[in-house]
Amino acid sequence: MLERLNQVMGRIEDNLDQSLDVAELARVAATSEYHLRRMFSALAGMPLSEYVRRRRLTVAGAEVLAGREPLLEIAVRYGYGSGEAFARAFRAVHGIGPGEARRTGAALVSQPRLTFRLTVDGSNSMRYRVVDRPAFTIAGLKTRVALVHEGPNQEIIDFVRGIDPRTLEGLEKLSDQEPHGIVAVCDGLDPSRAEGTELDYHHGVITSADAPEGATVLPVPAGTWAVFTTSGPAPEAVQHLWRDVFTEWFPSNPYRSRPGPEILRTRLSTDGAEVDAELWLPVEREQG
C-alpha cells in the first residue's frame, strides 16, 4: 500500500498545474477513494486536499518570487479563477500577499513533497481479528461536533459530562452485543476529514432491545469489521493504537477502510492511569 501511495504522490507532483481527480488518484493507489482519503489523512496528519493545496502554493510561491511571469498567469496555472482568489489562498499559507512577496523578496512557507516509508521496530504486537457481522443498532445520545485531529475534543468531553449518570446506567443494561458496555461512536465524517469539519458523535450501546424514550438510534448495516485491542497507559495506549492501525496494519493487510461508524470501547482502571481499549473499524477486502 505504501508503494502505491508514493505513486499517488508522484502523480500529484506531476500534475500540480492541472486539475486533480481524487477518483483517478484512488485508481493509481488501487483502492477506494474513501480509503485513500482516510489513509492519507492518518499518515500525513492533514487531508489530501490540504496537502495538494499547500504543494501548489509552495510551487506557485517560487514562481512568484522568480518574477518572470505576471501574477495572474501564475494564479490561473494553479487553478485560481482570479487574482483575488489566488491572493487570499497565498496569504493563508504564506502569511503575505503575492504582490508584496514579489516586491520584498519575502521568505515563504514551504510544504515539502511527502514520501511514505514503513518503519517496523518490533516493539509492539497488534492484537486484532476480522469479523463479519449482521446489521445491528446503536442506541444512545448524539451530538454534532467538530473534528479535532490532535489532543482532546472538548465538545465531546463537555457532552459526555453533561449526561445524567442514571441515563448511562439505563443504557448499559441494554447492551447485549459486542462490543459490550458504553461505546463512543463517530459517524458521518466529511470525506476530506479536514480539521473543523463536523461529525456525529454517539454515546451509547449496541443492542437488540428497543431504544428508551429520548434516545437516538443509529442503524448499522451488515458488513466486515476489523477489531483491534490494546492495553496500557491512558490516553497514550489508545492514541498509539489509532496510529499503528494506519501506519502498520492497513499497509500490511489486504483490507481497506469503508464508510461506516468507527466504534471505540474503553475501560479505565480505578485510578484512571491505565486503559483497556477495543476499536472497531468498518473494512472490506482490497480488490484483486
Chain segment 16-40, per-residue pLDDT in tens: 999 899 999 999 999 999 999 988 9
CA dihedral 136, 223, 203, 127 (to 10 degrees): 120
With a pLDDT cut of 90, the percent of the chain lying above it is 72
Element (H, E) at 226: strand 223-233
The band of 69, judged by pLDDT with boundaries at 50, 70 and 90, is very high
Three-class SS of residue 74?
Answer: helix
pLDDT, average across residues 199-221 = 94
Domains of the chain with bracketed CATH? 2-104 (1.10.10.60), 127-285 (3.20.80.10)
β-pairing, 216-220 vs 136-146, is: antiparallel
pLDDT tens digits, one per residue of 252-276: 888 999 999 999 999 999 998 999 9
Whether the CB-CB separation of 155 and 203 falls below 8 Å is answered with no
Instruction: Bin 64: left if φ > 0, else alpha if -120 < ψ < 50, else beta.
Output: alpha
* Res. 119 pLDDT band, cuts 50 70 90: low
Percent of the chain scoring above 70 in pLDDT = 97
SS3 content of the chain, % helix, strand, coil (to 5): 40, 25, 35
Where are the extended beta strands (E) located within 97-220?
127-133, 136-146, 183-187, 198-207, 216-220
Please list, in sequence order, all residues whose beta carbon lies within 8 angstroms of the beta carbon of residue 44, skipping any fewer than 6 positions away: 51, 114
Enter the C-alpha cell of residue 16. Answer: 500540480
Q: Tell me the pLDDT tens digit for each residue of 71-82.
A: 999 999 999 999
Strand partners of residue 203: 141, 184
**pLDDT at residue 266 in the model:** 94
Considering only residues 251 and 72, tell me which one the structure prediction assigns the higher pLDDT: 72
Pick from 51, 50, 74: nearest CA to 62 = 74
Grid coordinates given for 51: 496537502
Helix axes 48-66, 33-44, angle to 10 degrees: 70
Q: Could you tell me if 248 and 190 are in contact, meaning their C-beta atoms sit under 8 angstroms apart?
A: no
Give the residues across from 74 on adjacent strands: none
**Position 288 confidence tier, pLDDT thresholds 50, 70, 90:** low
When comparing pLDDT for 116 and 76, which is higher? 76
CA distance 234 to 155: 20
Say what the pTM is.
0.81
